[in-house]
Amino acid sequence: MNIRNPRYNAHRTIDVDIEHPDYGWIPYTASPDDIHSEVCRSRYAAALAGEYGEIAPYVAPVPTVEELAAQYERAVQQHLDETAKGYGYDDIKSAVTYADEPAVPRFQAEGLAFRAWRSLCWDYCYSLLDAVQAGTTPLPALEEVLAGLPALEVSYGN
């Protein structure tokens, strides 16, 4: 059987291409831990021994713009929620519900502040995204985006 193109994958097992008699070249993963297949374990050992050529290192896939945007969005949302939790709310959505509730002035002040802050944060993010997509700003690291978010300012009107 012809086997070629050995390469490590994200799981530290080895992917190869095997020439199948009916389907042509097909992908195959060889693993040293496959409890169901001695063939799989022996192909892994053969790959390690160099029988299929040099094993290429694992190369992580480059995330798409959409994947990066989703990752950044989740991180910003988590930051908003964690900040609200620090004030005793379930999340940012829960905090902003107090903006229109005058019964307890402290809660209303926090709700107004969280509502405004949420808008400022997302405005910052979407403006940054527009600049990155326009090519006028390089893509910042996620840590830089989070550090650049506007600060929450709560005024209790004492």
Q: Note the pLDDT tens digit of each residue in 53-85.
A: 999 999 999 888 789 889 999 999 999 999 999
Give the pLDDT confidence score for residue 59 in this predicted structure: 93
C-alpha dihedral, 87 to 119 to 150 to 98, nearest 10°: -20
DSSP secondary structure of 14-83: EEEEEEETTTEEEEEEE-TT-SS-HHHHHHHHHHHTTTTSPPBPP-PPPPPHHHHHHHHHHHHHHHHHHH
Sheet with 24-30, edge to edge strand ranges: 3-8, 14-20, 24-30
Q: What is the pLDDT of residues 81-118, one digit of tens each?
A: 999 999 999 999 999 999 999 999 999 999 999 999 99
Q: Identify the three-state secondary structure at position 4.
A: strand
Q: Identify the three-state secondary structure at position 101.
A: coil
Tokens linked to 60: 């992580």
pTM exceeds cut of 0.85: no
Q: What pairing do the DSSP bridges indicate for beta strands 14-20 and 24-30?
A: antiparallel
Length of the chain: 158
- For residue 157, is pLDDT > 90? no
**How far is 45 from 144, CA to CA, in rounded Å?**
44
